[in-house]
Amino acid sequence: MFRARRATAGLAGLISVSALALTACAPAHPGAAATVGNDRITVAQLQALTSRTLADPSFAASGGSDAAALQRQQLTNLINHHLLDLAAREKGVTVSEGEVGTTISGVLQQEGSRQALDKDAAQHGIAPADVHDYFYYATLENKLAPKIDTPVVHVAHILVKDQATAQKILSEVKANPDSFADIAKSQSIDSGSGANGGDLGTTPSATFVTQFADAVDAAKVGSYFIVQSQFGWHVVHLISRTTETLQQIAASAANGDQTAQQATNAVMAHYLDTVAKQAGGITVNPRYGVWDPDQGGVVASDGKLSSAAPSGAPNAAPAS
């Protein structure tokens, strides 16, 4: 039922959060494990949270022995808790104890007992004393969902290795739009979408890597344009754009649609990224690691960035 997460998440049917595209900054203020804008997450907060988990026998029995990794996971959660609090204030959303209790009661019916629930939580790095907070933020995410709007786009692209080739193709498709699909099939190095004439389907723009998403959001419907990302150079056709709420997108995820779940994660992450930027950004004390914008969390200082999707499509890495 529980799962480790980069950001706060509920259980089945509740909204999960994945990669937050935030920019890592300078070391946090002295005495802080991290800061969100001018707000401090203290070392004492993090140490208390970690100590409670390490002291639980169920966590140790699950093979959880890497205290440093646990600290990174929990610091990520503390940062995202803070972002959710800021988001709730911005949107005027509150959560009552009764609502949290209802959420926990629903999970207890699935788990069978409070003992089973606490054991499951501990095995995923959540001490029994912190289960209430876990579900508080899961409930808060659910209540934010209908208040978060996101662009949903239908796009096609042709991915090439260099700008000169992209410029040449752009001129060709502008002169003859009907040639787009054939050129994608013959020249796109994204073999997945290339076979479909470059069609990436209809999805929230937040599911794409930042450079691609920003360009799509700024473009006029029907237009052709070029954008560079970590994958190469994209000749893009924006076919349509609509707007949906996160609640609408999450409805499909609740029915077990994994693609919809990834979209839900990405949309919430994109929204919290905006909240973080408005607050002044995120810093992490180097003793705990660094904030990785691709991983969307605190990673070891030698942590590697997310790898590109094998197809070369501009989608963000799926939630782990």
Summarize pLDDT for 142-152 with one digit per residue, the tens: 999 999 999 99
Helices (H), the chain: 43-54, 57-61, 67-91, 97-111, 114-123, 131-144, 163-175, 180-187, 191-194, 210-218, 246-254, 258-279
How far CA 129 is from CA of 6, 132, 229, 276, in Å, comes to: 20, 7, 43, 28
Span 7-15, mean pLDDT? Answer: 32
> Which tokens sit at 138?
């899961």
Hey, what CATH class is 32-147+246-299 in? Answer: mainly alpha
Check residue 257 and give its pLDDT. Answer: 81
Counting every residue, how long is the chain?
Answer: 320
Please enumerate in sequence order all residues whose Cβ is within 8 A of that of 23, keeping only pairs 6 or more positions apart, or say none. Answer: 281, 282, 291, 293
| Reported confidence tier of residue 252, pLDDT bands at 50, 70, 90 | confident
Check residue 29 and give its pLDDT. Answer: 59
Span 223-228, mean pLDDT? Answer: 98
Each domain of the chain, given as residue ranges in start order, spans: 32-147+246-299, 149-244
Please enumerate in sequence order all residues whose Cβ is within 8 A of that of 81, keeping only pairs 6 or more positions apart, or say none. Answer: 8, 133, 137
Cα three-residue angle 226-232-234, rounded to 5 degrees: 25
Of 62-66, 121-125, 251-255, 267-271, the range with the lowest mean pLDDT is 62-66
> What's the whole-number average pLDDT of the chain?
84
Same-fold call for 32-147+246-299 versus 149-244: no
Q: Which CATH number is 149-244's, of 3.10.50.40, 3.40.50.150, 3.40.50.2300, 3.90.45.10?
A: 3.10.50.40
Please check the confidence at residue 195 and state whether its pLDDT lies above 80. Answer: yes
Check residue 200 and give its pLDDT. Answer: 96
Please check the confidence at residue 221 and state whether its pLDDT lies above 90. Answer: yes
pLDDT tens readout for residues 39-55: 999 999 999 999 999 88
Check residue 312 and give its pLDDT. Answer: 64
pLDDT tens readout for residues 81-113: 999 999 999 999 999 999 999 999 999 999 999
| Reported confidence tier of residue 315, pLDDT bands at 50, 70, 90 | confident
Please check the confidence at residue 255 and state whether its pLDDT lies above 50. Answer: yes
Question: For residues 23 and 178, which has the higher predicted lDDT (pLDDT)?
Answer: 178
